[in-house]
Chain A
């Protein structure tokens, strides 16, 4: 069980890892895309502003010449803001502007700078000396160079903020997703663990334990409910088994003890071939009776184990009844009884020929055993009928019957009425008939025949299932 659980856990871990990885990849792609797009937009805006300012300055240059241009630049560069300006002469000396120094090579080529460059500016209001900027360089015919640019520090900071905000948001989402998954997965796992723990207890032998059912009616509940039904069936079978073994212990130990005592007695007695033979014959008879009891017990438990253990076929109940009555008729006559059969011409059902015959044989045998023996003649009626989809096979005698309060008890295994203990029999006959009734989906009913007893097999008529081959 522990291994199963750790495997489940590992599965959970693997699943969440895969899930998280996918999420992380998506998040990274998203962050990269958003920041890249954002900075492109901001840069484009800056470049456009630079171009506009240059166009403006070109106008100033045209109207007021170089002096006017330098003045305008000088004035503009004193205003606070993100704009940066630089004017150099042909030798590269700074004439005007708010730039103290530049990254080398920025002024070499005219036109927009391809990348952001670093520079130092005067009167830094942030106390920060190095800045990033993009700019456009224009060279005048006299060799002077003018640089107009926009500081990018804000943009870089903005990009950083966006980036970290995005990363933070995504990380939070990831963690939240993981936590949610963990709790949902965990609650599912916890229920599985509950099932595992319960089944472990069941495995260790406590068949009364049941799997937890929350009442939510979900898949887990349905599974647990099904397994519980299965368990109920198993414990019922086990109880039957328990009863059988108890019965075996009880009812086979007694004759075994007798057997042993008899053998011991014969052994300690002075050797006498004739006597020894007699003892052995008694012992064989005792063994046969035990085998019979044992067979009956096995048969009952086999039949009770389920209908799939029984081979059914299409049989004519009327013919079977006639057969069994024919089998017992001479015996009944010898016992001063009369066997009367009341049956329709034909009654075909889908059932086990062997078991139905055995049931009827047991019932007639019982009737002969318990109802006859008195001076008067006893009539045993075997009735077969069909009504409303049920067929009934009953055996009635007009003997002493069974008192109402004891009728249920005689169906118990090994139960025998006190007055019948001296008669041969295992006490299993009626239990077997009841098992046979049940395996056919029916029941066994005991009734007062006034006087006497009626034992009736009531079974719903079963049609032969399509495509099934039956054997008798």
Chain B
């Protein structure tokens, strides 16, 4: 078990722009991102944010939906119109069913409603920042001695085949696609099941423990770790 939820899980440092008018929340975000080894800038209103996003190179933009001068969705639309594809995480206090859809339609890549756990934000930023690495085109993933073939749907560990249910396969696929990064329960529900509501009970945990027993039971060394207060990470212990 890994204790610190905000521990950097990879060495690559990212440049992140936070466009958020709540200065206290923003400074807390900047601090948390810096502690995770990233470089973070802050813009306090929409126009300043758009200018910064247009003139400097960032790996991820964190954009609040409601901003003075220029609202978050307009910033994203303008950036997308000018051909900028920097991944955007939308923050919103609205957090309702269709707000997400509107946000993603405007060109956002991910959506997080306020209030959120900082570990949730960090995990999503990491995933967004690495999306540029375009792992989607890879046909197989490998973490330590665990292999997953996306075409033949075969999973092996140390060469031994493991039989997984279709849902378990997709769960593992998502975890391995984002190997060495913390993946939260909400991210799993969103990406593996495509649901965005909050199931009152932690249904995901049970799925994870089943998957874990299949990929770890006969192999001794743990590979699917629980990150306390954050989520899960798949990582080979070296």
Listed in ascending order, the chain A residues whose CB lies under 8 Å from chain B are 281, 284, 287-288, 291-292, 295, 298-299, 302, 309-311, 323, 326-328, 330-331, 334, 352, 354-355, 357-358, 361-362, 365, 368-369, 424-426, 429, 471-472
Q: Is the CB of A362 within 8 A of B200?
A: yes
Given contacts A302-B96, A354-B97, is CB(A365)–CB(B199) below 8 Å? yes
A357 contacts B197, C-beta separation under 8 Å: yes
A310 adjacent to B199 (CB under 8 Å): no
Q: List 20 A-B contacts (CB under 8 A).
A: A292-B198, A302-B96, A309-B97, A309-B98, A310-B97, A323-B193, A323-B195, A327-B203, A330-B203, A330-B206, A330-B210, A331-B206, A354-B196, A358-B197, A361-B195, A424-B200, A425-B200, A429-B200, A471-B101, A471-B105
B194 vs chain A, min Cβ distance (A): 8
Query: B201 in the interface, Cβ–Cβ < 8 Å?
Result: yes
> Most chain-A Cβ atoms within 10 A of its Cβ — which of B194, B200, B209?
B200
Please pick, from A298, A310, A365, the residue contacting B201 in the complex, using a CB distance under 8 A. A365
Nearest 7 A/B pairs, CB to CB: A330-B206, A358-B197, A311-B98, A331-B206, A331-B203, A361-B199, A365-B200
Contacts of A281 in B (CB 8 A): 229
Give the residues in chain B near A429, CB-CB below 8 Å.
200
Apart from A284-B229, A309-B96, A311-B98, 4 more pairs, CB < 8 Å: A331-B203, A331-B206, A334-B206, A355-B97
Q: Is the CB of B197 within 8 A of A326?
A: no
Which residues of B from 87 to 105 have beta carbons under 8 Å from A? Answer: 95-98, 101, 105
Q: Does B133 contact A (CB under 8 A)?
A: no
Report the Cα distance A426→B200, complex, angstroms.
Answer: 9
Residue of B nearest to A359 (CB): B197
Task: Count A/B pairs, Cβ under 8 Å.
Answer: 69
Provide the B108-126 mask, 1 if CB < 8 A to any CB of A, else 0. Answer: 0000000101000000000
Q: Is there an interface contact between B167 and A326, defined as CB atoms closer than 8 Å?
A: yes
Expressed in whole angstroms, the minimum distance between the Cβ of B172 and any Cβ of chain A is 15
Q: Of residues A281, A299, A355, which shows the largest number of chain B Cβ atoms within 10 Å of its Cβ?
A: A299
Instruction: List the A side residues contacting B193 at CB < 8 Å.
Output: 323, 327
Confirm or deny: B78 has a beta carbon within 8 angstroms of a beta carbon on chain A. no
Closest Cβ–Cβ distance, residue B170 to chain A (whole Å): 11
* CB atoms of B115 and A291 under 8 A apart: yes
CA distance A362 to B207 in the complex (A): 18
The residue on A at minimum CB distance from B168 is A330
Q: Which of A323, A330, A354 contacts B197 (CB 8 A)?
A: A354
Contacts of A323 on B, CB cut-off 8 Å? 193, 195
A310 near B203 (CB under 8 angstroms)? Answer: no
B interface majority secondary structure: loop
- Complex Cα distance, B194 from A430, in Å, reads 23
B101 touches A311 (CB 8 A): yes
Chain A residue with minimal CB distance to B166?
A: A326
CB distance from A122 to the nearest CB of B (A): 105
Chain A residues within an 8 Å CB radius of B209: 330
A281 CA to B5 CA in the complex, in Å?
13
The answer to whether B201 touches A331 (Cβ under 8 A) is yes
**How close is A282's CB to chain B, nearest CB, in angstroms?**
12
B97 in complex: contacting residue of A287, A292, A299, A362, CB < 8 Å = A299
Instruction: Verify B200–A298 contact, CB threshold 8 A.
Output: no
* Closest Cβ–Cβ distance, residue B1 to chain A (whole Å): 14
Q: Which residues of B contact A354 (CB under 8 A)?
A: 97, 195-197
Chain B residues whose CB sits within 8 angstroms of the CB of A330 once the complex forms: 203, 206-207, 209-210
Residues of A within 8 A of B195 (CB): 323, 327, 354, 357-358, 361
Task: Count residues on chain B whose CB falls below 8 Å from chain A CBs.
Answer: 24
A309 proximity list for chain B (CB < 8 A): 96-98
Residue on A nearest B228 in the bound complex, by CB: A281
A206 to B97, CA, bound (A): 33
What's the least CB distance linking B218 to chain A, in Å? 20
Query: A429 vs B201: C-alpha distance in the bound complex, in angstroms?
Result: 12
Contacts of A328 in B (CB 8 A): 203
Please indicate the chain B residues that have their CB under 8 angstroms from the CB of A355 in the complex: 97
B residues less than 8 Å from A357 (CB atoms): 195, 197
State the CA gap A388–B105 with chains docked (Å).
37
Give bound CA distance, A143 to B167, whole Å.
141
B105 nearest in chain A by CB position: A471
Note all chain B residues with C-beta closer than 8 A to A425.
Answer: 200
Determine which residue in B201, B207, B210, B229 has the highest number of CB atoms from chain A within 10 A of its CB, and name it.
Answer: B201
Mark contacts of B162-175 with chain A using CB atoms, 8 A cut-off: 1 yes-contact digit, 0 otherwise. 00000100000000
Taking CB atoms, residues of chain A closer than 8 Å to B101 are: 311, 471
Taking a contact as CB atoms under 8 Å apart, the answer to whether B197 and A352 are in contact is: no
What CA separation (Å) do A355 and B96 show in the bound complex?
11
CB closest residue in chain B, given A285:
B229
Contact A295 B198 (CB under 8 A): yes
Taking A323-B193, A330-B207, A354-B195 as contacts, is the C-beta distance between A299 and B96 under 8 angstroms? yes
* Bound form: Cα–Cα A299–B199 in Å: 14
Please encode chain B, from 215 to 231, with 1 for each CB lying within 8 Å of some chain A CB and 0 for all others.
Answer: 00000000000000100
The residue on B at minimum CB distance from A334 is B206
Residues in A with CB closer than 8 Å to B97 are 299, 302, 309-311, 352, 354-355
Chain B positions within 8 Å of A310 at CB level: 97-98
From known contacts A330-B207, A330-B210, infer whether A361 and B197 are also in contact, taking CB-CB under 8 Å. yes
- CB of B3 to closest CB in A, whole Å: 11
Nearest neighbor of B208 in chain A, beta-carbon distance: A330
Query: Complex: how many Å from CA A309 to CA B101?
Result: 12
Q: What residues of chain B lie closer than 8 Å to A287, measured between beta carbons?
A: 115
Residues of B177-202 at the interface with A, using a CB-CB cut-off of 8 Å, are 193-201
B66 to chain A, nearest CB (A): 16
Q: Given the complex, which residues of B lie within 8 Å of A327, measured CB to CB?
A: 193, 195, 199, 203, 207
In the complex, residue of chain A having the shortest beta-carbon distance to the beta carbon of B193:
A327
Instruction: Provide the residues of chain B in CB contact with A311, threshold 8 Å.
Output: 97-98, 101
Of B117, B167, B200, the residue contacting A292 (CB under 8 A) is B200
Shortest beta-carbon distance from A258 to chain B in Å:
18
Known: A330-B206, A357-B195. A295 touches B95 (CB 8 A): yes
Separation of A102 and B92 alpha carbons in the complex (Å): 107
Q: How far is the CA of A472 from the CA of B98 in the complex (A)?
A: 9
Q: Which residue of A lies closest to B114 (CB)?
A: A291
- Tell me which residues across on chain B come within 8 A of A368, comparing CB atoms: 201
Which chain A residue has the least Cβ–Cβ distance from B113?
A295
Kindly state the separation between the CA atoms of A309 and B195 in the bound complex, as whole angstroms.
Answer: 18
Minimum CB–CB distance from B84 to chain A (whole Å) comes to 24
Closest to A369 in B: B201
